[in-house]
Amino acid sequence: METYQYKFDYNVYKDKRSLSSVDQALINEAAMTSQKAYAPYSKFKVGVSIRTTDQTISSGANQENGAFPIGQCAERVALYSMIQVHGRQPIDTIAIVVDNKNQKTPASPCGSCRQMLHEYRSHQTTPIRLLLSLATGGEVIELYDVKDLLPFAFDGLFLGQ
């Protein structure tokens, strides 16, 4: 028997002002986008902005529905928007901003969005960095690569892709 270990580093910044101006702009864009959320049921507004390696920005907000399961997370709205507007580009950084009065710490993507992010990551060689924060400001969590959020992921390789 052999034992393996999986671990990853991430950073927590006290404030977004410790980040570069392009990262701050991306977080600001995601915060503005969170106001486009349609979240009358959860009141949990999420805005996501994606910066590609060639510096294009695409955004999306969660869209809920009275038939709960068909609602769509902000991450996926943003990814689909990127594809429609800019085409498939390598992604550099994704900012995820939550606007919810009960949420005191930044939130990270749900399992389904991790799987979807993994799909995009598997088509590029470079990492996809994540910046997580609240619309009200405060700490920013920086993850080096979405891969870290889904170890042992299922992906197209299993299907011969």
Active site residues: 75
The verdict on 110 binding ligand THU (CB under 6 A) reads yes
Segment contacting ligand THU by CB under 6 A, of 13-21, 25-33, 70-78, 131-139: 70-78
Contact call for residue 30 and ligand THU (CB under 6 A): no
How many residues at the interface with ligand THU, by CB under 6 A? 13
> Are 93 and 109 in contact, with CB atoms under 8 Å apart?
no
Indicate whether 23 belongs to the interface with ligand THU (CB under 6 A). Answer: no
- Residue 33 CA to residue 27 CA, distance in Å, equals 10
**Which of 42, 53, 105, 126 is in the footprint of ligand THU by CB under 6 A?**
42
Q: How many residues are present in the chain? A: 161
Instruction: Kindly report the number of other CB atoms within 10 A of residue 104's CB atom.
Output: 10
- Contacting ligand THU within 74-103 (CB under 6 A): 74-75
Asked if 44 interacts with ligand THU (CB under 6 A), we say yes
Quick check: 116 binds ligand THU (CB under 6 A)? no
CB 66 within 8 A of CB 104: no
By CB under 6 A, tell whether 150 contacts ligand THU.
no
Burial label, 32 (beta-carbon count in 10 A; 0-12, 13-18, 19+): middle
Phi then psi dihedrals of residue 88, to 5 deg: -80, 115
Check binding of 71 to ligand THU (CB under 6 A). yes
Tokens 């060689």, residue located: 125
Residues at the interface with ligand THU (CB under 6 A): 39, 42, 44, 46, 62, 64, 71, 73-75, 109-110, 113
